[in-house]
Each structure stands twice: as structure tokens, then as C-alpha cells.
Chain A
Amino acid sequence: MKKIAKPVKNPYFAGSILGVVLFSAYALTHSGLGASGAISRIHVALTKLLWQSHVDVISTFAVMGAGDTNPLDHASVFLLIGTFAGGMISAWFNGRLKVEILKGPQISNVQRLIFALLGGLIMGYGARFARGCTSGQALSGGAVLSLGSWAFMFSVFTGGYAVAYFVRRLWAGSN
């Protein structure tokens, strides 16, 4: 069955849904949304399989998975599972569930994957540095008017705009 990708929803509409979801997260669980914490937990779980003693030594890993603690036994991991499922459901209904590599037309597939991995590395590092990602810090913290989250949000945009010019070949002509 071949589905034709439907156009994406109006950003203000999608944003309003996002806002309602974020509110229900706060109302039902005390805390907002997030992704990077759970990603970190996956990392700790993988490291634990191979090298338990190392997890016990590194402070940020130990918090999640020292000794018998199961790093995946945490609400954020279930939020991540849901996010994944939600993304898949929506992509299916909107005809966007398709194996492909999304990139600018001026770079090769291999280049794109290398830069995706590199970008992910930088992002994963930065997200731990800032104690949260775009969803956890900027979105959730922003909605409860946390000062640090607002400062963080503007610095993410600053970082992106500052470097965008130098990597323009990655994305040029794609939009």
C-alpha cells in the first residue's frame, strides 16, 4: 500500500496540541515532558550490560544505574516509548512512514549520515551539559516560566544561527 504524504498541520494548530499535552503532563505527573533523560538512561543501560563497574564510578551514570538499579525503571523511559509510538502512529496516518534519508540535495547519503551522527553526538553532549533537551528544558521549563529555561532556549537558537552559515551546504536547496 502506497500512501501519499499528507501536508503537515498548521504549526499553530500543532503547537496548541503540544501545549495541551504539556499541560496534562504537568497536571498528571508534576513534571513536564522530556527526552534526553531517557536517552541517557538507554546509554547507561547499554553500558551496564558491558561494564557494570564503570557505571558505578562515573557520577552521572551511577545516579541512574549504580549496583542493582535498573536505569530503565523510570517514568521518563515510558514517556520516551510513548513518544516513539505517537510519532509512528501519526506518521502512519499521514503517509510519512517511509524508510528514507532526509538531506539537502547537495550532499550524499553517506555524508548526511556522518553529519547526523556528529550532530547527534554534539547534541547528546550539550543536552547533558544543559541538564535537559529542547523539550525538557526549553519547552517544559519555558511554560512554567523558569528563568534558566528561557536563557537556555535563547542560547540554543543563538548557537544554531551562529553556525548555520558555515554548514549551509548541508541544507542548501532543500526547502
Chain B
Amino acid sequence: MLPIDVIAVLGKFGGYAVFVLIGIGFGVSLELAGFGDSRRLAAQFYLKDMTVLKTMFTGIVVAALLIFLSAAFGILDFAQISVTQTFLWPGIIGGLIMGVGFIVGGYCPGTSLVSVASLKIDGLFFLIGTILGAGFFGESLPAFEDFWNSSFTDRYLVSDWLGWSIGATLFAVTLMALVMFYGAEKVEEFFRTKGTGKVWSWKITRRSYLYGAAALVFTASLVWLIGQPDPVRKWNLMENRYSAQLSSRDVFIHPLEYVKTYNEASIKLVTLDIRSENEFKNFHLTGSENVKPENFLDPKFVAPLSHLPSQGVVILIADNDSVSVQAWKYLKVQGVNNVYILENGLNDWNKLFEGKTISGKSFNVASPPSEVLGLFPKDVFTPKIKISNKKRSGGLCS
């Protein structure tokens, strides 16, 4: 099941080697498109040569179709894919600045690398500029740090914004790209000056363009038709990835470990109580939230949980295992990290603390202080909670 974490699988050395290989593929494809040449890149902005737009959008559409097609078939878990975080306005302003740099200098950071690799001196000067520019940014950031951190949404997709399914969005994006390609061809024809030497080593006929376009549209409709798997289908597909954690009971925590976690200031704890409303009113742990089993299938409910900071822990409380295990499965396949189940729910909770006092005083069993831990032998429970601080965001840009 994809994605694989190469560094976890192959170790740091092997993982880095894979990154080098992917980089080679990246460099080759940029160079093949002619992106080592500033004149070709700049021509995009004078409408004479739309190679940048064509290559970029072909790349985006092909990659997107592969990603969401494999997600639809359950080969790839999209919840585990790192999506660049959205800082809308800083992104837009930064983009405008970059557009200016692009047309003045003739490259973008990636293409300038390829240009330097093919021994172009102007590319080298551009790259040096980029390195210095990154430095100037860091120096000047304190002046507008608040703005730079504003309008933030973690993992916000075009489909969320439109309120469409991923399949429908992808279909629309594919169509849009094809319309843009058609427009780009027409625009080029119109603005092309004589002797641009538009001979591609791959002569492609009009018919093969149509076949290519048809293949993209077909794939996009297929992705739309199958749809992205819901948590129920996803669990069926991914069961063997996570079921070992359930059978070894590695995700069931002792009440005292809950007390320990609850009192740990560095942990952002979310306690979800899946019992009935009446039981919840009767007694519940301080800070816990009463939720219904069907909430776990609602993307709106789950989204904030998968966006918890890396030291976030979700703990589930239910009357019986089957309810909490079901919820655990649904959260897991939707990309929520650090989900645990309170062993046996609250059934033994009061019994455990019955008659216990701290220096002669009773305490609130709904929010036991950390001193309570001292009343029990140290080895009464084995700690299960391991904070995995895998950051699934930011990607390679930071």
C-alpha cells in the first residue's frame, strides 16, 4: 500500500538515494522540455511559446490522475499524502513577486538548477540570486511575520472549496487543462514569429493528440465514477496495515495512562466519549466531548482531528470494545495519528479510584491530578502511547 516512507523503510542512506533518483527524473523531464533555456521560459509571457503552461499542466493532470486513480482503487492512501498547507494571502503575494522574478530573470528555482547543470552562466547568476533572495527574506520576515502566518488552512483542497467530490473536481480540472492546451496552440499559432524552429523530435499527429486527450478524459471519468473510498471501504482495503495494532491491543490504554496523559501539559489531548447522552450526563471525564458513532464517518468532524499538532492525542471512550474499535478504524483510515482507546471505557473507572485519597483528601475522579499515579505501584500498567510526530505537511518546500 502506497505511499511508502522510503526513509523509514530503507534507512536514511537508502532513502536519500531514492530522493536522488527521483530528482534525476525531475531534472531530466525539465531539461527535455527545454526548461534549461531562459528564452523559452520567458516566451511564455509573450505568448510566443506556451511550453511552460503545456508541460506544467500536463504534469499536474497526469500526476493528479495517477494519484486519485490509485486512491480510488485503494492502492494509495491519500490521507497519508502530504498536502502543502494553504496560507492563502502570503501565497498569492509571494506568487506575484515570483512572477516578476520569473520574467526579469528568466527562470524559476527548479529550472535554474537545470540551466546551471547544462552550464548556462545566466542560470548560475539566477541561482546565486535565489540563494541570496532566500536570505533577504529571512532577514526581513520579522517586519511582517503576522501577515506571513495569516489566512492559514491545513489541507484545504479545491474540492473542499467548491463543495464538489474529488472526482468531479479532477474531471473539471482535466477539461480545463485540455481547453487551455487548445487555446495555447491557437495563441502560439497567432503570435509565433518566423523561424522559431518549432520542430519537435517527436512528430505528433493531430489524431494522436485527440487520443491523448481522450485517454485523459476517460481516466478522469473513471476516477469520478469509482469515487474516492469512504472510511468503510478504506478499512476493508487497508485492514492488514492496521489490524495488528488492534489484535496486539497496542492501542488500548490503562486508565492510569489516561490520567498521566491528561496531566501532561505538552500533550494536546482530545477525549471523545461515544456513550449515550444520558450516560455522559451522569458522569464524564473533564474535558471530554460526547460524540455519536456516526460522527466518525463525517469528514467535517474528522478533519480537525487529522490536523491536530504533532503532539496531539485522541482517546476514545465507549461502553464496549466494538464501538470504540469501529471508531478507531474509521479515524485511522482517515489519517488521524495517535488514536487510542481507553481500556474497558469508564466501566472500571470509579472502582479503580474508590477509597483513594491524596494526603487524606478526596479528589475529583472526573479529573484526577497526577499525584494519583503515586497511589499505585509503578508497574500497574504498560505505557502504550507513542507520539508519532511524523509531520505530514510542508513537504520539501520547508
What residues of chain A have their CB less than 8 Å away from a CB belonging to chain B? 6-40, 42-43, 46-47, 58-61, 63, 75-76, 78-91, 94, 96-104, 112-113, 115-164, 167-168, 170-171, 174-175
Contact = CB atoms under 8 A, between A and B. Distances in A.
A125 to B, nearest CB: 4
Nearest to A19: B62
Given A87-B30, A145-B173, A160-B100, 11 more contacts: A11-B54, A12-B55, A14-B58, A86-B31, A120-B107, A124-B136, A127-B109, A131-B85, A142-B60, A144-B84, A160-B45
Interface string B279-302: 000000000000000000000000
A59 B137 CA distance: 11
Contact of A37 (B29, B87, B101, B398): B398
A144 B22 CA distance: 18
Name the 4 nearest CB pairs between A and B, nearest first: A119-B105, A82-B23, A159-B99, A120-B129
29 contacts: A14-B34, A15-B33, A16-B59, A18-B56, A23-B67, A26-B81, A31-B81, A39-B130, A58-B141, A75-B16, A75-B19, A83-B110, A84-B114, A88-B117, A90-B32, A116-B106, A116-B125, A120-B127, A121-B136, A122-B105, A126-B101, A131-B91, A131-B397, A145-B157, A145-B159, A145-B169, A156-B99, A170-B106, A174-B42
Interface stretch (B197-205, B309-317, B344-352): B197-205
B199 A7 contact: yes
Interface string B55-94: 1111111111111001000001010111111111011111
Interface stretch (B1-9, B253-261, B264-272, B359-367): B1-9
A123 B99 CA distance: 8
A138 B54 contact: no
B225 interface: no
Nearest to A79: B23
Contacts of A142: 60, 64
B139 interface: yes
A127 B96 CA distance: 10
A157 B128 CA distance: 23
Contact of A101 (B84, B107, B120): B120
Contacts of B129: 116-124
Contact of B105 (A32, A38, A46, A116): A116
B26 A9 contact: no
Contacts of B83: 141, 144, 146
B20 A125 contact: no
A79 B130 CA distance: 17
B232 interface: no
A104 B87 CA distance: 36
A140 B84 contact: yes
Contacts of A83: 23-24, 26-27, 30, 110, 113-114, 117
B84 A137 contact: yes
Contact of B46 (A76, A88, A89, A164): A164
Contacts of A164: 45-46, 103
Interface residues of B, number: 148
A94 B32 CA distance: 8
B263 to A, nearest CB: 30
Interface centre among A34, A87, A118 (most CB of B within 10 A): A87
Contacts of B49: 175
B307 interface: no
B244 interface: no
**Interface centre among B18, B31, B95, by most A CB within 10 Å?**
B95
Contacts of A123: 97-98, 101-102, 105, 107-109, 126, 129-130, 133
Nearest to A55: B138
